[in-house]
Amino acid sequence: MTAAFQNTRDFARQLDAKDPLRAFRDRFHLPAGPDGQPGVYCCGNSLGLMPKAARAAVEAEFQSWEEHAVEGHFHGVAPWMHYHELLTDATARLVGAKPVEVVVMNSLTVNLHLLLISFYRPAGRRYKVLMEGGAFPSDQYALESQVKLHGYAPDDAIVELVPRLGEHTLRTADIEAKIQELGEELAVVILGGVNYYTGQAFDMPAITRAGHAVGATVGFDLAHAAGNLLLHLHDWDVDFACWCSYKYLNSGPGGTSGVFVHERFANSPELPRLAGWWGHDPSDRFQMKKGFRPMAGAAGWQLSNAQIFPMAIHRAALALVDEAGGMEALRRKSEPLTGYLEFVLREAGLPAEVLEIITPTDPTQRGCQLSLLVHRQGRALFDFLAERGIMADWREPNVIRLAPVPLYNSFEDVWRIGQAVAQWAEVLTLASAN
């Protein structure tokens, strides 16, 4: 594909003209650049853009609240009593699951804790947790507190995976080898589906097989994978997973979270969990009896009433994914879109000692995001891009993350990024000459 790319605006516009998803760009509110002209938003890996349907979706629930008050739980177009069920089928399609295996509730780290209560069950020699080194801090803090909850020292119980010397990403073979090495000591493997810093997508089916082979439970934080990668959680035999909805799923800041629990646990009331009223069997929920009886499947991990307003936004956002043709269609655009970004960045002419792309080149090992390790004047380059209307993401100490999202980014957006980086290369050349 790279050999066929051309670094021209006309070529980028030709690709956009052939893009079957091009009309979806107009379904989002795009921020303007400093000059008031349309900017290039490549920060969907941090916060997705606002769907134009979001405001009407929330307004509909305001209307229901206004008209029905508490009876909105049972009356109106979408009664709140069963609102979470309106999200189930679309969520199952999104992550490759059966409807009984998913539920939308709470926020991401809350859900991670709830799942770890159930699936991190250390006993005897089997107490260790395997995670990626440098995972997103929420995951680090959650696991530190979970192992402490069971009386273990984090430095002993948590094993971190780090790349080989001189490399930036993890090799699947090294992950599998570490799992085998830990063997009967390993209680749970918990990795991000995509590493937030490097943009590496992990081989989740291979990791799951390796973990199960030694008797460990395997789960994933899919914050950077849901809405980004094609997922088959049920077929991969993943035990549990959770994700947020505000990145690639465009469901608003602090948006609601999704949970996956494999079908094999659907009818396991004996599995330890933190219980709440909304997860109780609905057939007698309103009898207010003692004795928790969980709903079947992932829904049995619910604690409290549905968060109607964020769920309304999420429902509208999920509808866009389905309308676009699902994750298969998004990935068909995403792979060449990210490939074109890699191409124009390399065409910009910055040597590796100045700018290094640390995200894997193989499309199967990455999603939308490319992470640029800028060895000189990284923050200055970030500011240079921002001045030209390109909104990226800065991560200390010197990484710029760019994520062209297939629902609303264009090939011309990507070309503009390449042109800006090429201009920066000229600035550096002139500075060196002087």
Whether residue 255 is found in the same domain as residue 346: no
Measured distance CA(268)–CA(285) in Å, rounded? 18
289 or 180: whose pLDDT is higher? 180
H or E element that contains 371: strand 370-374
Measured distance CA(380)–CA(383) in Å, rounded? 5
> Residue 23 is part of which domain span?
2-30+327-433
Please check whether residue 40 lies inside any domain of the structure. no
**pTM for this prediction:** 0.96
Whether residue 261 is found in the same domain as residue 146: yes
- Say which CATH number the domain at 260 has: 3.40.640.10
Whether residue 192 is found in the same domain as residue 229: yes
pLDDT for position 433: 67
Report CA 278 to chain centroid distance, whole Å. 26
Mean pLDDT, range 343-365, rounded to an integer: 95
Residue where a domain terminates, one of 278, 294, 322: 322
Whether residue 175 is found in the same domain as residue 219: yes
Whether residue 185 is found in the same domain as residue 233: yes
pLDDT for position 428: 85
**What are the pLDDT digits (tens) for 316-353?**
999 999 999 999 999 999 999 999 999 999 999 899 99
pLDDT for position 2: 54
* Average pLDDT taken over every residue of the chain: 96
Please check whether residue 42 lies inside any domain of the structure. no
378 close to 400: Cβ distance less than 8 angstroms? yes
Residue where a domain terminates, one of 322, 348, 369: 322
Whether residue 269 is found in the same domain as residue 391: no
Whether residue 277 is found in the same domain as residue 345: no
* Number of C-beta neighbours around residue 434 at 10 A: 5
Please check whether residue 49 lies inside any domain of the structure. no
Whether residue 127 is found in the same domain as residue 168: yes
Whether residue 171 is found in the same domain as residue 270: yes
- What is the number of domains present in the chain? 2
Whether residue 263 is found in the same domain as residue 355: no
Residue where a domain terminates, one of 322, 342, 373: 322
pLDDT for position 296: 94
